Amino acid sequence: MITTEPGNAQSSHSVSEENHRFVIFMLQVRGFPAAGIIMVAAPLLLLLLVPFAPSSGAQLPTQGQAKELPIATNGQIFPWDRMRLPKTISPLHYDLTIHPNLTTLNFTGVVRIQLDVLEDTSTIILHAKQMQISGALLLAPDGVKPLQVLEYPRFHQLSLLSDSVLTKGRKYEVQLVFAANLSDSFHGFYKSSYRTSTGEVRVLASTQFEATFARGAFPCFDEPAFKANFTVRIIREPRHIAVSNMPKVKTVELPGGLLEDHFDTTVKMSTYLLAYIVSDFQSVSKTTQHGVKITVYAVREKIDQTAFALDAAVKLLDFYDDYFDIPYPLPKQDLAAIPDFQSGAMENWGLTTYRETGLLFDPEKSSVSDKQGIAKVIAHELAHQWFGNLVTMEWWNDLWLNEGFAKFMEFISLDITYPELHVDDFFLGKCFEAMEVDSLSSSHPVSTPVENPTQIQEMFDDVSYDKGACILNMLRDFLTPEAFEIGIIRYLKRYSYQNTVNSHLWDSLTNVSDVCKWYSGDELDVKAIMDTWTLQEGFPLVTVEVRGREVWLSQERFLKTDDPSLIDGFLWQIPLTYMTSASNTIHRFLLKTKRDVLYLPEEVDWVKFNVDMSGYYMVHYAGEGWNSIIRLLQHNHTALTSNDRASLIHDIFQLVSIGKVRLDTALELSLYLSRETEVMAVTQGFGELVPLYKLMEKRDMAALENQMKGYIVDLFRELIDRQKWTDSGSVSERVLRSYLLLFACVRNYAPCVTKATQLFNKWKDSDGNMSLPVDITMAVFVIGARTPEGWDFLFEKYRHSLQMSVKSRMKHIQVIEKEMLILSSSICRMMEQSLHGEVMKTQDLPDVVVSVSKNPRGYKLAWDFLRTHWHTLIKKFDLGSHSVSYMVTGVTNQYSTREMMDEVRNFFSSLTEETGSEMRCIQQTYETIEDNIRWMDTNLPLLQAWLNKHSHRAVHEDL
């Protein structure tokens, strides 16, 4: 089989003997008479003889343009020179037959595409990537004609050249026969495998087409606006099953003992949502109240871990059916746990696919965090069945219309369907994560132009997902939940089965804004407000200064840079909320200008803006503002909600990094945390304090580093001491317990180390059969992994465990522990094994590499591994992907010296555009290291002086 690569001089439309036999075989099983087969198949062999004919409608550079002419693989000029497909032809229907061979790991197929011609043309431009096209036919009203095929691998494009004009307004069909290898990455139609408990390796084939990978599975118009219907047939061996987006309607026996499954025709949808799997999975099913069959698929030995996912999917699909007031349009919804899966999950319409850790739950072994995480992933993918599948962004620049909404709906849906999971306690963290990226000059607008596949992949980041969700939450709070719900239902109904842009959403919400009773200004222009949040990057810092009864307001861009010119020119319309010491009422004000003044009815002791942090902005309290907040927290912190307290901790420490607040002021505020008990505020306290000593771990600063670690342990000592080593309490209490005990053990807090050592020894003596409380296993494992014998025992248990959540915890522990004498050889071996999928799945490698980088003794190992294996990693995980970005930023984001900066810059500057030099994550890395260097240069003396003044006694006596 010939796979066409860039630079390959041989045209892949030459017909191989194998594929010619496949064509005739396929025509036989379709019932073509022998004479008809000869008439249809013979032109395939003649394709080599068809001369090149210039195409009408060809788009080539005009005279005077310096643009390089696109050259096809056979040396001819390719008649299209743009990354995006022309609008001359639109697909209406795909009839797709696929035959994967799970022994030889390749596949063959035939696709017939019904076309609607929108402009006269003799050229059909569509996508195909790294596949052999062995025949192309035009099925026109006046007969079957061969088409010449040209390939342009740089843009993954095919040109089908007709010797007659395709007339505007008429319908045609093209038929293409193709073959390719199953991908060994995680994209397109790819190979996955798993090992049974007896050691047997089983192989399956699954798809992942988002964003631009359908073209690697079959020739198609692989852009989201080219929606069409799909009828799929899959040829398989009897030992396997096949599933696709729609229910199976029949199975036909073929010569040679093969079976062909015929699936019902899909609704109109984009190519990236098509899916099919050939495997030996088992399944369990239930039916929703609305009559939709829900089925969960997994490997046989893990099917008993699917009960929670099945129940959650039933409950959530019913919720969305009612909430959106639009019935789910398909008769079934499948959820499949794929053993090899790069992202978390994928929303293929009617066949959502997941990492095993995103779907499988063992009530005895999985933690409450696992349960919450699985529920959120399922809620996210099922929300996509409306946001993304039913209504789809027109192009990837507006990916946030899919992902921001799905992320937002995770919290809306689970707050109602699973209130006991307390997901609302954790939404704030998503906004903080988005701000971390959005505070860099290398950030991008929520809606931003993208062109090539790498740029498209880079859109799947915290800005599209988390910032998208946070600005939707801000708009919902601004308009009221009732008005917001009316507007999004209108949006979904108006644009069902269509493609949309930003303005369509704002138009749908504008007419409902009169429900917003608090706003008394001019007519509310939702588009004008939200354009400031979606069309420019970054977010505002609102500075508040109270002067008697006057509150002076100003806004500027929050940006971690030493270049003030990058801050100018930004203006947001900001839905401000605030409360004061004089009233619990939430007051609202729309700040449209750089500066404004509010008037209070009376003077107050304190004012808190961005109530519950419902808005996507930071607040700086100028003058005496921060001092009044600190006094409030020290004497009556519960006067503010836990979200308010978390946002204050976040904002003040972030303001230190841009020089608006002194570090010692932020540390004074942190003293109140010795009384804090709520999960979001506690974890945000850790989130701001721990990175300070993490910066020192990469330098020779043991004394100050240990002083800082000691301060944090002392700060939370009483809260740690109150934790029970059980699984009792609410979800938030249990999440907090896991966090606190793990931190205490890593930091060698003696009572925790003693307890964890006792439990690990008992567990090890039982050969791992003793049931440990799930919430405390991370703390126990981290202590056990400190000895070579304990580490080896954990590694063996990891290798043989079938509980995905247990494997996940063990994976992190094996690289987190600081004191391991065997760190270097064992961790290098683990990363190498992950790279090749041995013992540890390659999908887990990014987590492993980043975890190693956080280890004070391992960070150089992670950086060396990333450099050494760079070309393998970008091939496996794909340029621009979240996995690559996560490794680049995760490995380097705690570097804080000029020497480290030079080393990082030297490596990345040695890359070419083809190997990733233009990726946004590299610029983010440079900015983050520069910010760390500035922080250390400015604040180390202040930190040293402050810590010297605050002994263990001071932490408690000051309060």
List active site positions. Answer: 381
290 has binding-site annotation = no
Q: Which amino acid is residue 487, in one-letter code?
A: G
* Tokens linked to 206: 């699954």
| Nearest residue to 689 via CA among 706, 709, 668, 659 | 709
The CA radius of gyration of the chain, in Å to the nearest whole number, is: 29
Distance CA 430, CA 780 (A): 28
Bridge partners of 337, per DSSP, are 354
Q: Which residues of 66-95 are buried (b: 16+ CB within 10 A; e: fewer)?
A: eeeebebbbeebbbbbeeebbebbebebbb
523 has binding-site annotation = no
Query: CA 852 from chain center: how many Å?
Result: 22
Bridge partners of 620, per DSSP, are 543
Distance CA 473, CA 149 (A): 49
* Tokens linked to 274: 């098509």
Reported residue count of the chain is: 959
Name the 3-class secondary structure at 629.
helix
HEC states along 592-606?
A: CCCEEEEECCCCCCC
User: Quick one: CA torsion of 395, 400, 403, 409, rounded to 10 degrees?
Assistant: -130
| Nearest residue to 24 via CA among 43, 35, 37 | 37
Bridge partners of 282, per DSSP, are 298
Distance CA 282, CA 303 (A): 7
- Counting other chains too, the contacts that 723-727 makes at CB distance below 8 Å and 24 or more residues apart are 725/755, 725/759, 725/773, 725/776, 726/773, 726/775, 726/776, 727/368, 727/773, 727/774, 727/775
Can you list the positions of beta strands (E) in 254-304?
A: 259-263, 276-279, 282-287, 293-298
* Tokens linked to 794: 């954990």
| Nearest residue to 738 via CA among 368, 230, 467, 273 | 368
Measured in degrees and rounded to the nearest 5, phi and psi for residue 839 equal: 65, -60
H-type helices in 391-449, by residue range?
A: 400-417, 427-438
| Nearest residue to 402 via CA among 437, 446, 354, 443 | 446
Distance CA 814, CA 781 (A): 8
Can you list the positions of beta strands (E) in 66-200?
A: 89-101, 106-117, 121-127, 132-140, 143-146, 148-152, 157-166, 171-181, 188-195
Name the 3-class secondary structure at 441.
coil
635 has binding-site annotation = no
- Burial of residue 351 (CB within 10 Å: 0-12, 13-18, 19+) is buried
Bridge partners of 127, per DSSP, are 157, 220
Question: Residue 609: which H helix or E strand, with range?
Answer: strand 607-609
**Alpha-carbon distances, residue 802 vs 1, 336, 366, 805 (angstroms):** 37, 17, 12, 9
Task: Mark the binding-site residues, compressed into ranges.
Answer: 380, 384, 403
Task: Mark the binding-site residues for Zn(2+), compressed into ranges.
Answer: 380, 384, 403
